[in-house]
């Protein structure tokens, strides 16, 4: 399990720095808050530059605003780290199960959604567990 990183004062990134130095944003691995969003013109923010961001602060925030944003940001970061999986890995697993069971991916997805609510005590914390659950739950095409 990954060691949880904490938000440090150096993890408050001004959006203009992200635009000036794209490599800086890509190199950030710790969670960070983005400031200066309210002074942006209509330039779109590159999404890959904000992958590790956990929130933003506008204008001249009070200490209370910063504290609330840091707390919320860390909660969102923790949830994202704990409960999200790489979407591509899950999709590959779903495609594989669809091929193996000779079913359309849409049908497998629908059956998966129906079955997941019925099985309350199932653990799908890893791709291996998901593959095993799909193999035992999804029926072969008849």
Residues 16-26 have pLDDT tens digits of: 666 566 666 66
List Cα–Cα distances, 105 to 18, 110, 119, in angstroms.
39, 9, 21
CA dist list (Å): 29 to 7, 10, 73: 11, 12, 15
Predicted model pTM = 0.40
> Measured between alpha carbons, how far is residue 90 from residues 13, 45, 65, 97, 131 in Å?
32, 27, 37, 11, 9
Per-residue pLDDT of the chain (142 residues; tens, 9 = 90+): 444 455 454 555 666 666 566 666 667 777 777 776 666 666 666 666 667 777 777 777 778 887 888 888 788 777 776 666 667 788 888 888 888 888 888 888 888 888 877 777 777 778 888 888 888 888 887 7
Helix (H) or strand (E) holding 73: helix 63-83
Cβ(34)–Cβ(15) below 8 Å: yes
């Amino acid at each position: 399990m990954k060691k949880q990183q904490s938000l440090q004062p150096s993890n408050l990134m001004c959006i203009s720095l992200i635009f000036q130095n794209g490599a800086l944003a890509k190199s950030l691995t710790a969670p960070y808050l983005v400031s200066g969003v309210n002074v942006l013109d209509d330039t779109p923010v590159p999404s890959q530059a904000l992958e590790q961001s956990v929130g933003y602060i506008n204008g001249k925030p009070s200490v209370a605003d910063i504290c609330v944003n840091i707390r919320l940001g860390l909660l969102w970061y923790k949830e994202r780290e704990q409960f999200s999986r790489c979407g591509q890995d899950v999709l590959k697993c779903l495609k594989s199960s669809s091929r193996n069971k000779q079913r359309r991916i849409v049908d497998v997805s629908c059956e998966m959604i129906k079955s997941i609510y019925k099985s309350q005590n199932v653990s799908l914390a890893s791709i291996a567990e998901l593959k095993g659950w799909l193999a035992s739950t999804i029926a072969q095409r008849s």
